Amino acid sequence: MQYVDPYLPREIFGWRSPRLGMDMPIVRYGHHGHALLLYPTAQADFLENERFFLIKAIEPLIFAGRVQVFSIDSINRHAWMNRHVPVLEQARRQALYSGYVEEEVAPHIRRCLGDPYARIATSGASFGAFHAANQFFRRPDLFDTLIAMSGFYDLEGDYLEGHSNDEIFFNNPLWFVREMRDSDQLRRLQHDTDIHILTGEGAYEAPHEARRFSQVLWDKGIWHDLDVWGKDVNHDWPWWRRMLPYVIAERARRF
């Protein structure tokens, strides 16, 4: 089956991450436009967004030079979604994954762009939205745009089992954003970012998670777009294939 146009520029690269001790592939689609770092859902790999036709949904924007996409692996199967791993070890692995993105993936994308100061957009659906938001709010110096689809932004209810330490706190967006004080990081989030939080109200969606995080952002003076779609909008790929091109083409300022 052909998942993308055969003429779409597509390059697979990767390296063995010194932080993770794992081979971590990355695929790039397109050569022009604003860079978008795309996360997979749940425990999936770097090609999931291609297999489920999310790349196909934004192909016209890639061909038009509006966006180029970099898609990476998740490590959820080794961390938050592996019940055989103790919570504090899951948190340690999450912290390593955040370091991998910030210190390895972002510099790689900047090298590809030929711009050592470029800021990057980030997106994902479901658990991918959590990772995109976590990375974005941790490092707005690296990331300028967030498109979070059908996500959650707090690990406490389902994953933490009452645990807390710095590795958890600084990788749990609702917690660390809520506690932000006057800083360059907060000012950049308030004045120099583009944030889009989308959710449906249909089967398996959690609009209350989006609304709860949105309130935390407003409390911090962080402007954003909370876009709640209808009760027919389920937690599934057909809707994410509508959301992502809609935001890139119609709402996001930097594409």
Strand partners, 24: 15
Q: How much is the pLDDT for 157?
A: 87
Model-level pTM greater than 0.85? yes
The CA distance from 111 to 105, in Å, is: 10
The CA distance from 201 to 196, in Å, is: 16
Domains assigned to the chain: 10-251 (3.40.50.1820)
In which element (H, E) is residue 38 found?
Answer: strand 34-38
For residue 189, the one-letter residue type is L
81, 61, 49, 87: which is closest to 8 by C-alpha?
Answer: 61
CA distances 96 to 55, 104, 109, 219, Å, are 27, 11, 19, 30
Instruction: Name, in order, each residue with C-beta under 8 angstroms of 61's C-beta and a sequence gap of 6 or more.
Output: 33, 67, 245, 248, 249, 255
Q: Which two tokens stand for residue 8?
A: 């779409």
The CA distance from 153 to 133, in Å, is: 7
Q: How much is the pLDDT for 55?
A: 98
157, 173, 120, 150: which is closest to 226 by C-alpha?
Answer: 150
The CA distance from 23 to 156, in Å, is: 30
Q: List per-residue pLDDT tens for the chain, 255 residues long.
A: 789 999 999 999 999 999 999 999 999 999 999 999 999 999 999 999 999 999 999 999 999 999 999 999 999 999 999 999 999 999 999 999 999 999 999 999 999 999 999 999 999 999 999 999 999 999 999 999 999 999 999 999 899 999 999 999 999 999 999 999 999 999 999 999 999 999 999 999 999 999 999 999 999 999 999 999 999 999 999 999 999 999 999 999 999
Show the DSSP H helices in 77-126 as ranges.
87-100, 106-113
Q: How much is the pLDDT for 2?
A: 84
Mapping DSSP to helix (H, G, I), strand (E, B) and coil, where does residue 226 land?
strand
Mapping DSSP to helix (H, G, I), strand (E, B) and coil, where does residue 189 land?
helix
- At 47, give phi and psi (nearest 5°): -100, 0
CA distances 59 to 32, 36, 68, 236, 252, Å, are 12, 13, 10, 19, 17
Taking the CA of residue 45 as centre, how many other CA atoms within 13 Å lie in the half-sphere pointing to its CB?
9
- Beta strands at 194-199 and 22-29: parallel, antiparallel or unpaired: unpaired
